[in-house]
Amino acid sequence: MTVTLADVAARAQVSPATVSRVLNGNYPVAASTRERVLRAVDELDYVLNGPASALAAATSDLVGILVNDIADPFFGIMAGAIQSEIGGPGGRAGGERLAVVCNTGGSPERELTYLTLLQRQRAAAVVLTGGAVENTAHATAVATKLRKLGEAGTRVVLCGRPPAPAPADADAVALTFDNRGGGRQLTEHLIGLGHRRMGYIAGPEERTTTRHRLEGHRDALAAHGIADDPARTVHGRYDRRAGYEATLELLRRETDLTAVVAANDTVALGACAALRDSGLRIPDDVSVVGFDDLPFSIDAVPALTTVRLPLADAGARAGRIAMGREEVPPGGIATIRGELMVRGSTGVPKGA
């Protein structure tokens, strides 16, 4: 049975005219209404009739790059590298493609909305960066959307993100970071220095990146017979303020911590500030480690021990695959490993 504009309007609980305004983009519509209409379009798999539907199998010169937070260097570096590979051979007008960075703000709803909009624009490629939300319903919705994009001729690449579960299209390529391995490296480095009382500042609980890095930390503890005390783990956002507040909470819970493992480098900066404000020296009293090796990490005082992820290289590779200028890795999945960078923020524990 053919889905009509009226069906979409009924599902979204708006008028048919409002649906037309959203789809045509020629009249201002409230953001909440727009999202409701696009969700209905997606759920009903509605396509325009007539000439527009005849064009549905064709792709445009548009490439979508989805990021959680463009202000975060982690995403900015990857997005910039992806965009640098978008032009050149394979494009249409003069070999150029239009790269659009879609900032989701970490919202699962916005992620799906952007994917729907990119599908309607017949994007040539879509690159999703960073960790995924660990929610079964959302993961299934994203996987279904990626399958539809692939069936319409859109190349889909996941950069720094685990492979999407079924029913994602088999052609979706995943360049995934070895977050478990990196987390294990950091904690083993601290254990090798003699640390046993380590606090861990984790990211948001619903993110795959958070879980994988924490699992690596716990794997290292278990391998060395060190108990994983739940009181030594605090979850927060991937930002400096969260690192600062979480460190104060860890110190309140246990005053004799000798090291802090931070979810990423930005969180680690907040941890360092909290330690200094608490009258503690780094690394003399407390060692600190981060993750990602963002550009500012080496300029921190002391320079930050961290795991370097090749963000620019991964982004450039994702861009080339999205443009069909690099072969897809075997099985459509490649694991990108990090490198431990030992700097001045870690040392032997006090009194060791």
> In this structure, is residue 26 part of a structural domain?
yes
- Residue 33 maps to a domain: yes
- pLDDT given for residue 259 in this prediction: 98
How many structural domains are present in the chain?
A: 2
DSSP state of 243: H
CATH of the domain at 246: 3.40.50.2300
Read off the CATH number of the domain in which 51 is found. 1.10.260.40
Residue 319: inside a domain, yes or no? no
Percentage of the chain exceeding pLDDT 90: 67
> What pLDDT is attached to residue 53?
42
Written as six digits, the tokens of 12 are 């979204």
Domain membership of residue 113 (yes or no) is no
The domain in which residue 30 lies consists of 1-55
What is this structure's pTM? 0.83
The pLDDT assigned to 47 comes to 62
pLDDT of residue 23: 74
Over residues 126-162, the pLDDT tens digits come to 999 999 999 888 888 898 899 889 888 899 999 999 8
User: For residue 274, is it within any domain?
Assistant: yes
> Does 132 reside within a domain?
no
**Amino acid 59: pLDDT:** 64
Residues sharing a CB contact under 8 Å with residue 87, sequence separation 6 or more, in sequence order: 95, 96, 97
With a cut of 70, list the residues of the chain below it in pLDDT: 1, 24-27, 47-59, 88-95, 165-171, 352
- pLDDT at site 302: 97
- Which residues, in sequence order, are CB contacts of 145 under 8 Å at separation 6+? 42, 112, 115, 116, 119
Q: Quick one: pLDDT at residue 227?
A: 93
**What confidence score (pLDDT) does residue 34 get?**
79
* pLDDT on residue 43: 77
Residue 226, in any domain of the structure? yes
The reported pLDDT for the residue numbered 21 is 75
Residue at 253 is within a domain:
yes
